[in-house]
A and B are shown apart, each in its own frame.
Chain A
Amino acid sequence: MVQTIAALIRKELLQIRRDRIMLRLIFIMPLVQLLVLGYAVSTDVKFIGMAVHDCDRSSLSREFVRSFSAGDYFIPRDSGLPLLEIERGFQENAYDAVLIIPPDFSKTLAAGGAARAGFIVDGTNANAAAISLGYAGIITAQFNGRTASREVPISLRQKVLYNPEGESIYFMVPGIIAVLLTMITVMLTAMAIVRERELGTLEQLVVTPISTPALILGKTIPFAILGFVEMSIALAFGVLWFKIPFAGSWPLLYALAFIFLFTTLGVGMFISTATRTQQQAMFFSWFFSIYTILTSGFFIPIANMPAAVQYLTYLNPLRYFMKIVRSRNASSSSCGR
């Protein structure tokens, strides 16, 4: 049994090694994914392009516009379009918001009345639109406080624990590692047996005295090894390049990853035996990966999903592993979590 499994593993690793492109993909993929995702993935809403129509052109209106540029939230600039054509700018994606200040703005304020200003936002990206509406409201409230020559009396002192710089990288990179581990192990295992079936080599294998458990183990262990190699590369990169503080215990992380791999390798193996061609296997593993990644809380908080979908996420092994890697890395909580 052991000799048979060892022979299968040796053969599988030899085949992986023989394919130059495959080998490169296996090593480059996690790095590229980490780099791209680590830097690109940010749902922060910042640098919102804001066109300004200042019909008042007073020092007060200019000051009001200036208050929008504080904190990198908005980048105010002149729209350069007539008031009636501001929608063109939205269509050309030249800006995402417009601030309109009516001609009697400073006069009304000076008279102690309520001056109206208009704020129009492109709702295409619902999330960004909601946040820019919020920012605009806060900026206006603060400006009102200042012009009334008194501070807003009640303030909020905010303190962020565990990740005080607000680096989304600290949160994303461990998540990416979990996603990578899922995709690589499910897809490669899914193709493992069906590939031999399609190429006809399975026919020769089944007449040998290899037992079914030996065949399955021999076909999954190489991908488990590969998964661990990928995870280690990604972790090393995360710690050395992205300087992610690693507060938890390494052996515990690997032990939990080992348990997690049982689920992905199992699914992969199931797909591999249930399909007839590699194309089908690929389809099914894609489907599985997309479902697990989307419902794992990787970038969409589970709490946001409708109740029915939230229950579905309990069936998702990645959901738990995502929690594990993230808590292991981001905070120093204990094993009990």
Chain B
Amino acid sequence: MENAVVLDRLTKRFGRFTAVDEISLSVRTGEIFGFLGANGAGKTTAIRMLCGLLLPTSGSGSVAGFDIYRRSEQIKLNIGYMSQKFSLYGDLTGYENLWFYGSVYRIPAGSLKARIGELASSLELEEFIRRPARSLPTGWRQRLALAAALLHRPRILFLDEPTGGVDPVFRRRFWEILYRLADGGTTLFVTTHYMDEAEFCGRISIMHQGRIVAAGNPQELMRTYGQNNLQDTFVHLISRGGADA
């Protein structure tokens, strides 16, 4: 099975500031990969490079088998992206939003209609899809954003803090949906602040000051660093990483 994401010593500098410092990692197809790190650790810069929005300074990488330097167009066709901030059009209805994004991903009108119906029922959005997106409760808005990111059946889904500001019940159900997706073969690349969520991931990496300080299965990591939970592991790694930086 090929790897969905492969990074080798990927680096991004802004002037003299190194935002991402030689990170290497690989994400297997169908895996849920947790990309953790404190604010300002360089997560967002890394994700922007993976999505083809930013050119790296050095190092190499491929997403869905496409080179991140030269094939950003192909990458964009094969990934979905959903961010912490609601970024759909509030004045349009859910359906109009989905129709717009579907057209942008060049889905033919006939199959787009069916696809929207399919997603709406699997994400239980039918009730809300005709209302202006602005008027939806946060949890439903997030599902709508997920639906928009899934329209074109991406092979890899990037989720940037997808559950920010959502209550625990909604979060739990959101993760159930993510598991279903992963079972269907979609690779999930998730950043999160919630350590209990990070435990849902098959593998995680922890980033600090532009570097990956640890990576592996959450349970393994806890054992390796002798901590009882992921939260403590995270704090332990960050303070240690801070010391040798």
Contact = CB atoms under 8 A, between A and B. Distances in A.
Contacts of A6: 103
B103, B148, B158 — which one has the most chain A CB atoms within 10 A of its CB?
Answer: B103
B85 A15 contact: no
B72 to A, nearest CB: 9
A209 B104 contact: yes
Given A207-B51, A207-B76, A210-B104, A19 B91 contact: yes
Nearest to A1: B106
Contacts of A210: 104
A202 B73 CA distance: 17
Contacts of A11: 89, 92, 96, 100
B103 A203 contact: no
B92 A209 contact: no
Given A203-B87, A204-B148, A4 B92 contact: no
A15 B103 contact: no
Contact of B104 (A199, A200, A202, A208): A208
Contacts, number: 67
A142 B53 CA distance: 79
Interface in A193-250: 199-211
Nearest to A16: B91
Contacts of A276: none
B49 to A, nearest CB: 12
A208 B76 contact: yes
Given A200-B87, A204-B87, A209-B106, A7 B100 contact: yes
Contact of B73 (A7, A19, A199, A209): A209
Interface residues of A, number: 24
Contacts of A126: none
Interface string B202-238: 0000000000000000000000000000000000000
A18 interface: yes
A207 B79 contact: yes
A204 B79 CA distance: 12
Contacts of B85: 200, 203
Contacts of B90: 199
A5 to B, nearest CB: 10
B106 A15 contact: no
Contact of B103 (A4, A18, A200, A206): A4
B169 to A, nearest CB: 26
Interface of A: 3-4, 6-8, 10-11, 14-15, 18-19, 199-211
29 contacts: A4-B103, A4-B106, A7-B104, A8-B104, A10-B103, A14-B92, A15-B91, A18-B91, A18-B92, A18-B132, A199-B87, A199-B90, A200-B83, A201-B88, A201-B89, A202-B87, A203-B83, A204-B81, A204-B83, A204-B88, A207-B53, A207-B158, A208-B104, A209-B73, A209-B76, A209-B77, A209-B105, A209-B106, A210-B104
